[in-house]
Structure 1
Amino acid sequence: MEKTLNVEGMTCGHCKMSVEGALNKIDGVSAAKVNLEDGNVDVTFDESKVHVGAMKEAIEEQGYDVDS
């Protein structure tokens, strides 16, 4: 399944690496691709292993706000 999450506060390459890294550590997430210009991240995941709430928490733990 794919979902796009709107993430506030991402401005640079470090932000991109932080968010993608946090999401890719989650079991069930197969891909995470940040688009800094649009302020979002496209996540490909197995919904039987992970739910959107866990992905939001992982992003928020990196210091960003999620508005999906």
Structure 2
Amino acid sequence: MKKIVLNLEPLTCPSCIKKIEGALNRMDGVADAKVLFNSGKVRAQFDENQIAAEDIAKTVTGLGYPIISQKVS
């Protein structure tokens, strides 16, 4: 399993959490996705054999949340 941490611009509403977590947790290959509202971070564990980190990032930006930086480990 790999981990990705996305730093987003500040989130403005708690419903953002549901929107992002829901979309990511429905993706094949994503084991767990969490949004840390106060810090604007998204953390997800994923199976690199099923999904690429870029696909996770594209999903978040496609929902309308710009990514400031990302780290995959």
TM-score when normalising by structure 1: 0.89
Give the length in aligned residue pairs: 68
Structure 1 residue 9: Cα displacement: 4.3
Structure 2 unaligned spans of 5+ = none
- 1:29 alignment counterpart: 30
Runs of 4+ aligned structure 1 residues displaced above 6 Å come to none
- 2:3 alignment counterpart: 2
The 2-side partners of 1:9 and 1:58 are apart by 17
Structure 1 unaligned spans of 5+ = none
Equivalent residues of 1:9, 1:64 under 8 A apart? no
Identity %: 35
Give the partner amino acid of 1:22: A
TM-score when normalising by structure 2: 0.83
Q: CA RMSD in A?
A: 1.1
Q: Aligned to 1:17, what secondary structure does the other structure show?
A: helix
